[in-house]
Amino acid sequence: MNEQLRRPRHFGRVMSAMVTPFDRQGKLDLDAARKLAKWLEQHGNDGLVIAGTTGESATLGDDEKCDLVRAVAEAVTVPVIAGMGTNDTAHSIDLTRRAKELGAAGVLLVGPYYNRPPQAGIEAHFRAIAQATPLPCILYDVPGRTGRRIDEGVLLRLFRDVPNIVGFKDATGDPPSAAALVAQAGDRFDLYSGDDAQTLPLMAVGGVGVISTTAHWTGPWFQRMFDAFSEGKVAEARRINAQLIPSYQFVNCDTCVFSMSVKAMMRTLGLEVGECRLPLPPTPEGVEAQARDVWKALSAP
């Protein structure tokens, strides 16, 4: 294999940040979650991230999160990563301790949001949570949502000092910074793109995969893009990425954010996932028609 693309050590290359299905009354729909998870496994996903931002973690109760992780882990054979990070360290520790018994293969830990702690607090937060579990942990930096970026020095110390912090979901939009992290500690962690549109640039600097919203339907295309890049066929990887641009653009706009758009696409593909919970409103008129157009263009010969 060409060494242009590093191989993930713990999980796969393509993992959907799975939406959480709700029924018509807005209740958690575990049967629909199992069905969706199996569909994703069969359509290009090497793993699934459950109860993350796209899974509307902010509106899920603790018992709902646990029930969801357990149901999905029982339904699929691919690794299930549980989104157990919150902005409360003690709460995050409690949730993370439950993850192994629920069948999770790892946990995703987002940077503490809203309270915007200093870097010393962020570092202590992650160390405490990782110490509470034997499971591998993926850190998630999404400053547009948390209000505070994780400092490079903090990340390097965590990758070097904490054996079960093994991955980084990067949604900073800063490939040069990611390149610096890989150059200094690339043997200690796996770099995942946390922004679908940044996947190809992050491949070029040492990324191993993507934790994706659009992989709900673009999983096979992402797999082909990774294969092409691994084989040194960079032009082919660029061509596939260009095919995916309409999907990248579809998932997020001023009136329809990721969870809403992905659920609209899933409904057009025949998977009943329901609508989102408030404060995410019902899907605006015309989004499902747009989803059909995006899918038709992508799947055309």
Rounded distance between C-alpha atoms, residue 116 and residue 130, angstroms: 20
Rounded distance between C-alpha atoms, residue 177 and residue 294, angstroms: 32
Rounded distance between C-alpha atoms, residue 213 and residue 178, angstroms: 20
* Active site annotation includes 100: no
Q: Choosing from 38, 100, 113, 169, which is the catalytic residue?
A: 169
* Active site annotation includes 140: yes
Helix (H) or strand (E) holding 165: strand 165-170
Q: Is 283 known as a binding-site position?
A: no
Q: Which two tokens stand for residue 198?
A: 């940044």
Q: Is 240 known as a binding-site position?
A: no
Q: Choosing from 65, 113, 140, 263, which is the catalytic residue?
A: 140
Rounded distance between C-alpha atoms, residue 160 and residue 133, angstroms: 17
Where are the alpha helices (H) located in the chain, listed in sequence order?
A: 30-42, 62-75, 89-99, 119-131, 143-146, 152-161, 175-185, 199-204, 215-230, 234-250, 258-268, 287-299
* Binding-site residue ranges for pyruvate: 54, 211
* Binding-site residue ranges: 54, 211
Catalytic residues, by residue number, are 140, 169
